[in-house]
Amino acid sequence: MSWFKSSASRNAAASHAAANGSVRSVNYSTSPLLAAKTPPGRSKFIVALVGLGFAILIGRALYVQVFGQAFFLKQGEIRYARTLELTASRGRILDRNGLILAASVPAPSLWAIPKDFEADDAQLASLAKLLSMTPAELKTRLADNPNFVWLRRQVDDQVAKQALALDIKGLHQVREYKRKYPEGEAAMHVVGFTSVENHGQEGLELAYDKDLVGRNGQRRVIKDRLGRVVDDIGESIPAADGHDVELSIDSKVQFFAYQRIRDAVNENKAKAGSVVVLDAQSGEVLALANYPSYAPGDRNLQDGRMRNRALTDTFEPGSTVKPFIAGWALETGRVTPDTVIHTAPGRVQMGGFTISDSHPHGDLTVTQVIQKSSNIGAMRMGLMFQPREMWELYAQAGFGQKPQVDFPGAVTGRLRPWKTWRPVEQATMSYGYGLSASLFQIAHAYTVFAHDGVVIPATLKKAGPNDPPPQGIRILSPKTAQTIRKMLQLVCAPGGTAPKAQTMGYSVGGKSGTAYKQEGKGYAVKKYRAWFVGMSPIDHPRIIVAVMVDEPTAGKWYGGDVAAPVFSDLVQQTLRTMGVQPDLDFKTQIVAHDVPAEEESF
């Protein structure tokens, strides 16, 4: 109660003083708080803290402005500057006439930022349908990375337009380059293909990748928060497009070769087939076709269709090597074209192995041995040589040697060292068993006959107008090569093994071949390879054509019946395309397609 009265008295006094307009001033200098002295250690500590703070700030400022300047400038630039890649256009692949076999065209690619992606069920279903996937697959892809995922690369322009028209947040488009192959499956084994990153994967796309790929450029830009380019930084590095590659391939010859081998494989119910067409004067490859082939969009084929069989598959060349044996026997003076060779009774036992002809021929001249394809006749000539002599003949012709051609996967074949040969092996190698070669190697080896005794290099690139003529290896004299060509011409005449190789308007010569297919350590009794290799016109050859049909099963299997008709059609079409004048009179020429062929020994 006393406290209440005291408070009331004080309040009344204050009210009275305020009413009178006067307040007594307070003397702060006499305040007991100020009169108390601060301990010296505390004041020094406070000053030290303040000084330390200033030192830290000054040090930090020095670090940011001087020592760490580059780092902080870079970090700042990361937040607003971007490097845009300027994609180089891959070079074109052209045929010998400048027609396009492979070219790059702009193509949109769709990508997304999943953390920004917003789409209702209808939009998601529509987008998935455009991208050829299910909504579940699309959701799975979007879950891969929150910042960036490819949805579909190198789509059609119409697909990209429809996708962007859905107005889905987080969906974006970028322009890339897509490879186009106008000749389709007819030239795929030659040209090959690229990956989505535009790097060569197969064929000449891979072989000439360094020339074709070019060099990408760069452009430094400033982007705003919406991702729009607002300014350039520094100098841009322009993209350097890849170089064009001009091939020796003639797209017209290539297309016809593909069509014809495709028809032959289907007609004979065969497993596969290959064709090689060479320019006999320059060694340029005019066509290299295989069937079955594959479409440009196929990438994951597991049935062997991507394999360029003409260059990667090897087989025993069989009777196609007999002209080499006869040629060397002539060259060394061991025989003449009219030398008689005894082949009766058509069977010879040697080293526990039976060497036989398809039927007894009796006595044959060297010319007839080639015309009728006698195994025993070729064997008797082959055994005239020393093993090393035969090995060097085959090796110089290119057998057992890696083809010097710019193509990935080209095989070497097999030619065992001569020191390991037994007499029976030398005998069988005289008619093409015991060694192996690709169809390309056989076609290349025949340049020795077409080019007057010289094996010239083969090439897949077009020769320039100022390029020197090809320099090869001389194996035979021009006279011997010409003599062999006359023998090969008789092979395609009545009485030979391949009259179906004759061509209207052009003289031809060549050699058929038929061989059992190897299976394991032996041979399959009812599986064959049939082939024919020859040249035209016979006096001054312009082209060499080699044809192989693998496992014909339609009732015919001899090279003269299966492969020779393909050769005939290709010779006529190719020489006309090249503008070569016919060397035979159409009115007097008799095309012997219906003349029975001599049954070939194999």
Tens of pLDDT, residue by residue over 522-538, are 787 788 899 999 999 99
Per-residue pLDDT at 38:
66
Q: Give the predicted TM-score (pTM) of the model.
A: 0.81
Neighbour-count burial of 58, counting CB atoms closer than 10 A to its CB (0-12 exposed, 13-18 middle, 19+ buried): exposed
CA distances from 108 to 150, 156, 161 (A): 12, 7, 9
297: pLDDT strictly greater than 80: no
Cβ atoms of 185 and 258 closer than 8 Å: yes
Q: Report the distance separating Cα 195 and Cα 397, nearest Å.
A: 37
Per-residue pLDDT at 461:
93
Per-residue pLDDT at 568:
96
Strands 454-455 and 473-474: antiparallel
Neighbour-count burial of 386, counting CB atoms closer than 10 A to its CB (0-12 exposed, 13-18 middle, 19+ buried): exposed
> What SS3 state is found at 491?
helix
Q: Report the distance separating Cα 72 and Cα 223, nearest Å.
A: 19
Average pLDDT value for residue range 45-68: 83
23: pLDDT strictly greater than 50: no
Per-residue pLDDT at 26:
54
Query: pLDDT grade, residue 61 (50/70/90)?
Result: confident
Q: Is 195 a catalytic residue?
A: no
Average pLDDT value for residue range 330-359: 92
How many helices (H) and strands (E) would you count in the chain?
22, 19
Query: pLDDT grade, residue 1 (50/70/90)?
Result: very low
Domain borders along the chain are: 84-246, 251-295+305-577
| The domain made up of 251-295+305-577 is a member of CATH 3.20.20.60 | no
Per-residue pLDDT at 2:
45
Q: Report the distance separating Cα 397 and Cα 451, nearest Å.
A: 12
Tens digit of pLDDT for each residue in 365-380? 999 999 999 999 999 9
- Of the residues 126, 319, 373, 507, which is catalytic? 319
Better pLDDT: 36 or 126: 126
360: pLDDT strictly greater than 70: yes
Q: Is the peptide bond before 494 cis (omega within 30 degrees of 0)?
A: no
298: pLDDT strictly greater than 90: no
Cβ atoms of 447 and 426 closer than 8 Å: no
Most confident region among 137-146, 167-176, 563-572 by mean pLDDT: 563-572
What sections of 451-563 are H helices per DSSP?
478-491, 559-562
> What SS3 state is found at 523?
strand
Output the six-digit token pair for 514. Answer: 């038929």
> What SS3 state is found at 249?
coil
| Angle at CA of residue 539, ends 537 and 541, nearest 5° | 45
CA distances from 101 to 120, 239, 256, 274, 309 (A): 44, 23, 15, 20, 20
Q: Report the distance separating Cα 518 and Cα 171, nearest Å.
A: 57
Strands 347-350 and 340-342: unpaired
Q: Which long-range contacts link 521-527 to residues 24+ away (Cβ below 8 Å)? A: 527/551
Cβ atoms of 270 and 117 closer than 8 Å: no
Tens digit of pLDDT for each residue in 248-262? 999 999 999 999 999
Q: Which long-range contacts link 194-201 to residues 24+ away (Cβ below 8 Å)? A: 194/90, 196/153, 196/154, 198/90, 198/104
100: pLDDT strictly greater than 50: yes
213: pLDDT strictly greater than 70: yes
Q: Report the distance separating Cα 296 and Cα 273, nearest Å.
A: 20
81: pLDDT strictly greater than 70: no
Q: Report the distance separating Cα 81 and Cα 341, nearest Å.
A: 86
Tens digit of pLDDT for each residue in 422-444? 999 999 999 999 999 999 999 99
For helices 121-130 and 157-164, angle between their N-to-C axes, nearest 10 degrees:
170
Q: Report the distance separating Cα 104 and Cα 109, nearest Å.
A: 14
| Angle at CA of residue 370, ends 311 and 378, nearest 5° | 85
Q: Which residues pair with 513 in a beta bridge?
A: 531
Cβ atoms of 270 and 264 closer than 8 Å: yes
Q: Report the distance separating Cα 170 and Cα 354, nearest Å.
A: 77
Counting residues of the chain whose pLDDT is more than 70, the rounded percentage is 87
Nearest to 350 by CA among 324, 321, 382: 382
10 Å Cβ neighbour count for 332?
Answer: 13
Per-residue pLDDT at 101:
96
Q: Report the distance separating Cα 391 and Cα 35, nearest Å.
A: 121
Cβ atoms of 439 and 559 closer than 8 Å: no
| Angle at CA of residue 571, ends 504 and 561, nearest 5° | 80
Output the six-digit token pair for 196. Answer: 């989505």
Per-residue pLDDT at 594:
63
Counting residues of the chain whose pLDDT is more than 90, the rounded percentage is 54
Per-residue pLDDT at 8:
47
Say which residue the tokens 């067409």 belong to.
277
Residues 6+ apart with CB under 8 A from 407: 203, 204, 207, 308, 311, 460
- Domain 84-246: which topology? Penicillin-binding protein 2a (Domain 2) (3.90.1310)
Per-residue pLDDT at 3:
43
Query: pLDDT grade, residue 84 (50/70/90)?
Result: low
CA dihedral 103, 411, 436, 537 (to 10 degrees): 40
